[in-house]
Structure 1
Amino acid sequence: MADGSANVGYLGVTRSLSGRLWRQRAAAPEITRSHQLNHGLSEPLARALASRGVTPETCADFLNPTLKALFPDPSSFADMDRAAEILVDALQARKRVVVFADYDVDGASSAALIVRWFRVMGLELSIYVPDRMTEGYGPSPAAFRHLKAEGADLVITVDCGAAAHDALACAAEIGLNVVVIDHHLMRPGEIPAVAALVNPNRPDDTSGQGHLAAAGVAFVLLAALNREARRRSLFSGPEPDLRAWLDLAAMGAICDVTQLVGFNRALAAQGLKVMSGWANPGLSALMDVAKAKGPASVFHVGYLLGPRINAGGRIGRSDLGARLLSTDDPEEAAVLAGELDALNASRKQVEAEVQEAAIRNIERESNQADAPCLVVAEDDWHPGVIGIVAGRLRERYRKPVIVIGIDRAADVGKGSGRSQPGVNLGRAVQAAYEEGLLLAGGGHAMAAGLSVRPGAIPELRAFLCERMADEAQAAAAEDGLDIDALVTTRGADRGLWTEFQRLAPFGPGNPEPVFAAADVRVERPMALRGGHVRVTLTDGSGGRLKAVAWRCEDTEIGRRLLQEGGAVHVVGKLKPDDWQGREGVELEIEDVADPRAR
């Protein structure tokens, strides 16, 4: 049996072909036994629950997350009651209300939630989404002046606004009331003067719901609006059924990669059930253009629906996603979904071109790939895809990466970075800004954005490498892959996959289960278009397990899989394989290790 200690490495693997240590997820034996006895679970599943921090007291709610058990009191959010009063006042006075949304899925979902509630109440709201290229992120003084001139009485910002101090000051000057619905981190003492600011991450909020996406905050706001409207006896018939819009709350929670724990887990789990009815015309139309079907899953949301909604904000018209999710017209939804699908195809092509160029850039430099931080820049890289590319390169090189697209005409480079656990990229970028190396910059531990003069990029690269050298070295030593259970090719079947689906939905705070298979042989390797590799795995159990490794053909993992023969250890995630009704599984390979090289 494999040793799960970090010193030895799971299956003895201290350095895999991707350079990682393999570890067994740590779980308290007494909690594992409690889950087994109290809930009738197998040892591997009970152990997986314990390793994810699920206690005996929280196990029942984790396995069956319900809104009834986990919904927070809206009044526990700072300014929530005040926001509800202001918005219901606007409803009764028939004011001109504009929803100002961020251009990503969370912003679009949040906007659609609020628009749909007001529509049921008889008031149609306008949606404004800033253009990523010309306006940038969040509210600006110019945007608020434009909305005021257009006759807006009240603006509701969603998934943005909490840090827009200049814009909010401008709104106060021109007499434009603003209610902020946000979830981004705020610094102490940074609560702007505004009609209401609802954000579980504002310094004085005590709701304990800081892991919510903006769509989750907006969903709680709808409960507060129902309560306020009920208090004023505004319902002549049934109240708006908030459960019908749980699909939108789930979209924001999953696509914004939030911690799927507690109430947020209930939103995602129950929202996927609602989504599976495909009653939202926009989501149904997106499924049609994606040529997908079946009950909604995290895969549908994260890989089919979300990227298409985001495509409008990345390389197209920024308001397409919010319009799609808020429309009740199937014909309009079909047209918008078609536009977003085409934009997503263009986005993938642009992304692939930038990624290939970035890899060439990194690897033609004799020492850059070995640096603590990779900073890669070229002319005319599209700012809408550089963040995605930075994330891909971070996965490939296992270190912080910043990708910069240079606009020579404007003499500016716009950069986006993604970091490795244990390396605080946002802090390093902030230090570079304070050092005068950047025009603008900021972020958090795992992601950052910046603007820089092209001529300063070499100095910026040197500064960041020196600044992050110690953290990067420590992070590389701790870079590991956490494994839930050891399986055989015969035992990795549909029954095992179904059993572990009791942990779903997966995401941050509840990672998808990872399985290891020892001493397997690789048969029938095949390189696929896109750099993927497909194989069949066999071992002494007599089973045959289909497996695929994505985007790996030109890596050590891909080269080893394509060799065929010879025993290897593999680690990956089980996925359903329903092709032609077979109800099987396949393994998505995450890592490979040579048993002889430990």
Structure 2
Amino acid sequence: MGENFSVQQSLSGKAWRLRDIDDEVISDIRRKAGVDEIVARMLAARGITPDEAEAVLSPTLRHFFPDPSGFQDMDKAASAIWDAVEAGKVLAVFADYDVDGATSASQLIRYFRQMGQAMLLYVPDRIEEGYGPSAEAFATLKAQGAQLVITVDCGAAAHEPLKAAAEMGLDVVVVDHHLMGADLPPALAIVNPNRPDDTSGCGHMAAAGVTFVLLAALNREGRRRGKFGDQAEPDILKLADLAALGTLCDVVALKDINRALVSQGLKVMGQWQHAGLKALAEVSGLTGDPSAYHLGFLLGPRINAGGRVGRADLGARLLSSDDPAECMEIAVELDALNAERKQIEADVLEAAQAQIIAAGETDAPLLIARGEGWHAGVIGIVAGRLKERFGRPAIVIGTDNGIGKGSGRSVYGVDLGSAIASAKSIGLLIAGGGHPMAAGLSVAEERIDELQTYLSERLQPEWDATHAERALMLDAVLTPAGATLDLAARIMAAAPFGQGFAEPRFVLPAVRIAYAERVGADHVRFSLADDDGQRINGIVFRQADQPIGDALLGNSGGLWHAAGRLKLDEWRGNRRVQFHLEDLAAAS
């Protein structure tokens, strides 16, 4: 069964394919990196060459850190900021309301605090103000005394607001990573690896990572100016945990500098020196060393909850504070807001799924669901859930007073951000932008159907071209007996995993469902057994009322192929292997 294993259609409607990997490359990786065959196979499948393997397995900032001067306007930004510091000007940071924005802002605030300088903070309200800076927000900051504003995770396409800032005499430095055109808005500097004339090769970075590079540029400029004679140079490595959190939660490709930032940032975070992160871990139930999973599924959603259904600045304030009592108060509030967010999300998701199924559009290259009054704070999450459920790009739009505000999530190979930018360029949208995997938009309600037609036609060729790549790719065939603690530990040693460096996926062929039970709201716990009686325990999330859950809970005694990932499950000091199921297919 091994090398030729495949499935034509699973219960989730997907084809499965075992990755075709050159045995010689696997051997070379084993020899050069000193790893076993499964880890070598995993690396080769992700495009890692034998010469790169060791650095990928042990990523360091020293090896992957880019030259700050390679970013267009980075040196100009560092110089402008230092000029403002030397002139005694009041600095402010304007941040987006998500995790990437909050971690970018808190890095800057903490950096300047190390030099004894405070910064003003402004985070726009998602509902009232929407994404990015506005003339009104700049006017508010100027009235508070701000003389230089640094925008983070936003601003690169804010032509009119930046023009207004210039007219009111407010200096602005932009630090962003979103797609933008060649027509640059007015600013002292625009640092964005995705601006058309940037040659850094770092377009895959999140704003938190770009901000971290800016801090290195600021230290270098400070040394050039002789500023660290009487005071210590800020230790930016202490801020790597914040950069890691923003990088992971913005779901950017986990390669090169991103991989190094996350790897090193997790080590820094494990020291729990930042009161805000420590408080957030406590209310999240996180104990021990943090992992990429903890950042993406425990800490990140709670920080995001402030911007989604609460006060937009809560996340940035939490991550910037050194007061344990204040941090715990904010963390508790964010935890409660996250619970509220989950309920709102569940209601919108149920309505959106029903709408798409009723419309019979599940085979379209793009799914769009819309609803009056759908909360703008959850539409992005719901779009992601729809993408997972139906395996194709999805946009969810909440309408209010004739205006629709939407958020979309895409799949590999389908550039949603460019499609949204194109729709805006021809006048279909009031506003819109993003990157290949995620985008946001504003549209007149009466033009939503027209928008759906345009985007579907534009994305159809990309969807068709990547059809084969959307098969569920398997790294290796395993038996329950072969899914050992040792193997799981060796796999986890290759972490961090994330976008662009996926955790390996295995298939357990021809197994029986030994038992299954529903747990929580919609999860299923189960045990699988092969013909030799060897068993492995596992769980599948959010599938209890879907075909996979129905198959597990209604076990008919047939044979199944099971695809999923091996996890180390630790409970009360005991370690065991757990299989996180992703898909099932009948074994014919």
TM-score (norm 1): 0.93
In the other structure, the counterpart of 2:470 is 479
Question: Are 1:345 and 2:333 an aligned pair?
Answer: no
| Structure-2 separation of matches of 1:59 and 1:468 | 35
In the other structure, the counterpart of 1:268 is 262
Gaps of 5+ in 1: 5-10
Q: Call closer, same or farther: CA 1:141–1:512 in 2, change over 3 Å.
A: same
In the other structure, the counterpart of 1:2 is 2
Question: Are 1:51 and 2:64 an aligned pair?
Answer: no
Among the aligned pairs, what percent are the same residue? 54
In the TM superposition, what is the alpha-carbon distance from 1:185 to its structure 2 partner?
Answer: 2.0
In the other structure, the counterpart of 1:591 is 583
Match of 2:502 among 480, 488, 511: 511
Question: Are 1:543 and 2:554 an aligned pair?
Answer: no
Question: Are 1:379 and 2:377 an aligned pair?
Answer: no
| Structure-2 separation of matches of 1:435 and 1:194 | 26
SS for the counterpart of 2:493 is: helix
| Structure-1 separation of matches of 2:263 and 2:271 | 14
Q: Which moved more, 1:112-121 or 1:227-236?
A: 227-236
| Structure-1 separation of matches of 2:579 and 2:114 | 46
In the TM superposition, what is the alpha-carbon distance from 1:466 to its structure 2 partner?
Answer: 5.0
In the TM superposition, what is the alpha-carbon distance from 1:370 to its structure 2 partner?
Answer: 4.2
What do the CA deviations read for 1:66-117 (whole angstroms, capped 9, x no partner)?
Answer: 1222222222222222222222222222211100111111111111111111
Contact between 2:97 and 2:126, CA under 8 Å: does it hold in 1? yes
Alignment of 1:412-427 (within 5 A): 412-427=403-418
Q: Which moved more, 1:224-233 or 1:289-298?
A: 224-233
What do the CA deviations read for 1:494-536 (whole angstroms, capped 9, x no partner)?
Answer: 2111111232101122111111111111122112232111110
Question: Are 1:221 and 2:181 an aligned pair?
Answer: no
SS for the counterpart of 1:368 is: coil
Gaps of 5+ in 2: none
Question: Are 1:581 and 2:573 an aligned pair?
Answer: yes
Match of 2:559 among 567, 570, 577: 567
In the TM superposition, what is the alpha-carbon distance from 1:540 to its structure 2 partner?
Answer: 3.2
In the TM superposition, what is the alpha-carbon distance from 1:325 to its structure 2 partner?
Answer: 0.5
Contact between 2:6 and 2:17, CA under 8 Å: does it hold in 1? no
In the other structure, the counterpart of 1:295 is 289
In the TM superposition, what is the alpha-carbon distance from 1:379 to its structure 2 partner?
Answer: 1.6
SS for the counterpart of 1:211 is: coil
Q: Which moved more, 1:143-152 or 1:303-312?
A: 143-152
Contact between 1:35 and 1:59, CA under 8 Å: does it hold in 2? yes
What do the CA deviations read for 1:429-457 (whole angstroms, capped 9, x no partner)?
Answer: 45555666544444444333333333444
In the other structure, the counterpart of 2:514 is 523
| Structure-1 separation of matches of 2:209 and 2:370 | 36
Q: Call closer, same or farther: CA 1:343–1:449 in 2, change over 3 Å.
A: same
Across the aligned residues of Structure 1 and Structure 2, the Cα RMSD in angstroms comes to 2.0
| Structure-2 separation of matches of 1:439 and 1:231 | 45
| Structure-2 separation of matches of 1:56 and 1:458 | 49
Match of 2:202 among 209, 234, 238: 209
Q: Call closer, same or farther: CA 1:202–1:579 in 2, change over 3 Å.
A: same
Contact between 1:490 and 1:542, CA under 8 Å: does it hold in 2? no
Count the aligned residue pairs. 586
In the TM superposition, what is the alpha-carbon distance from 1:552 to its structure 2 partner?
Answer: 1.1
TM-score (norm 2): 0.95
Q: Which moved more, 1:519-528 or 1:235-244?
A: 235-244
Q: Call closer, same or farther: CA 1:399–1:72 in 2, change over 3 Å.
A: closer
Contact between 1:156 and 1:179, CA under 8 Å: does it hold in 2? yes
In the other structure, the counterpart of 2:330 is 336
What do the CA deviations read for 1:126-181 (whole angstroms, capped 9, x no partner)?
Answer: 11111111111111112112212222110011111111111111111111111111
Q: Which moved more, 1:228-237 or 1:486-495?
A: 228-237
Match of 2:544 among 537, 544, 553: 553
Match of 1:446 among 437, 444, 452: 437
SS for the counterpart of 2:50 is: coil
| Structure-2 separation of matches of 1:213 and 1:448 | 14
Match of 1:321 among 315, 321, 345: 315
Contact between 2:415 and 2:435, CA under 8 Å: does it hold in 1? yes
Amino acid at match of 2:444: R
Amino acid at match of 1:547: G
Contact between 2:411 and 2:437, CA under 8 Å: does it hold in 1? yes
Amino acid at match of 1:592: L
Q: Which moved more, 1:500-509 or 1:586-595?
A: 500-509
Alignment of 1:101-500 (within 5 A): 101-187=95-181, 189-235=182-228, 236-365=230-359, 367-407=360-400, 410-430=401-421, 433=424, 437-465=428-456, 468-469=459-460, 471-472=462-463, 475=466, 478-500=469-491
Alignment of 1:86-97 (within 5 A): 86-97=80-91
Q: Which moved more, 1:162-171 or 1:540-549?
A: 540-549
| Structure-2 separation of matches of 1:215 and 1:281 | 19
| Structure-2 separation of matches of 1:165 and 1:428 | 20
In the TM superposition, what is the alpha-carbon distance from 1:251 to its structure 2 partner?
Answer: 0.7
Contact between 1:181 and 1:197, CA under 8 Å: does it hold in 2? yes
SS for the counterpart of 1:382 is: coil
Q: Call closer, same or farther: CA 1:362–1:33 in 2, change over 3 Å.
A: same
Q: Call closer, same or farther: CA 1:314–1:588 in 2, change over 3 Å.
A: same
In the TM superposition, what is the alpha-carbon distance from 1:577 to its structure 2 partner?
Answer: 1.0
Q: Call closer, same or farther: CA 1:457–1:325 in 2, change over 3 Å.
A: same
In the TM superposition, what is the alpha-carbon distance from 1:572 to its structure 2 partner?
Answer: 0.4
Contact between 2:505 and 2:563, CA under 8 Å: does it hold in 1? yes
In the TM superposition, what is the alpha-carbon distance from 1:477 to its structure 2 partner?
Answer: 5.8
| Structure-2 separation of matches of 1:526 and 1:197 | 54
Contact between 2:249 and 2:300, CA under 8 Å: does it hold in 1? yes
Contact between 2:384 and 2:409, CA under 8 Å: does it hold in 1? yes
Q: Call closer, same or farther: CA 1:62–1:470 in 2, change over 3 Å.
A: closer
Amino acid at match of 2:574: R
Contact between 2:178 and 2:435, CA under 8 Å: does it hold in 1? no
| Structure-1 separation of matches of 2:64 and 2:418 | 34
| Structure-2 separation of matches of 1:550 and 1:98 | 42
In the TM superposition, what is the alpha-carbon distance from 1:400 to its structure 2 partner?
Answer: 2.6
What do the CA deviations read for 1:188-225 (whole angstroms, capped 9, x no partner)?
Answer: x2233311122222222222222211111111111122
| Structure-2 separation of matches of 1:62 and 1:185 | 27
Amino acid at match of 1:585: V
What do the CA deviations read for 1:398-434 (whole angstroms, capped 9, x no partner)?
Answer: 2232222121xx2222222223334444455455556
Contact between 1:489 and 1:541, CA under 8 Å: does it hold in 2? no
In the TM superposition, what is the alpha-carbon distance from 1:230 to its structure 2 partner?
Answer: 2.0
What do the CA deviations read for 1:471-499 (whole angstroms, capped 9, x no partner)?
Answer: 54555565301111111112112211111
Contact between 2:120 and 2:146, CA under 8 Å: does it hold in 1? no
Q: Call closer, same or farther: CA 1:505–1:449 in 2, change over 3 Å.
A: same
In the TM superposition, what is the alpha-carbon distance from 1:541 to its structure 2 partner?
Answer: 4.5
Amino acid at match of 1:568: W
